[in-house]
Amino acid sequence: AESLAEKIRSGQLQPGAQLPTEAELCAEYDVSRTVVREAVARLRSEGMVVPEQGRGMFVSQTPAPRNFSIPDETLRTLPETIALLELRLSVEVESAGLCAERRTDKDARDIRA
């Protein structure tokens, strides 16, 4: 994922460019299909690539800004880890509540489906 992300950031893979196939990525990086799928899923979740049904994965025309993340190495002690969990708990519970309040009937039907 990092190698592909760097190719995108450096311009080696331009916006709109199609990513190589799974088989090509497996061969290039000497990894399994599972590893390639995880890497592509990570890039997709970061908004760097977008799928086009029946065509493949493409570099996003408008990459999303980097998501908020806290590297594992910053959580060195139990108090730091607990503080992060408390932060997540407060943000995630509030977010879920706001989503529930603001959902439409169509949203609820889609979730049920």
Could you tell me the residue ranges of all domains in the chain?
Answer: 2-59, 72-112
Helix (H, G, I), strand (E, B) or coil at 76: coil
Compute the mean pLDDT over every residue in the chain, rounded to the nearest whole number: 91
The residue type at 95: S
- Asked if pLDDT for residue 64 goes beyond 80, the answer is no
Strands annotated E in 3-88: 49-52, 56-59
Range 21-28 average pLDDT: 95
**CATH code for the part of the protein at 2-59:** 1.10.10.10
- What band does 67 get if pLDDT is binned at 50, 70 and 90? low
* Confidence (pLDDT) at 2: 92
- What band does 39 get if pLDDT is binned at 50, 70 and 90? very high
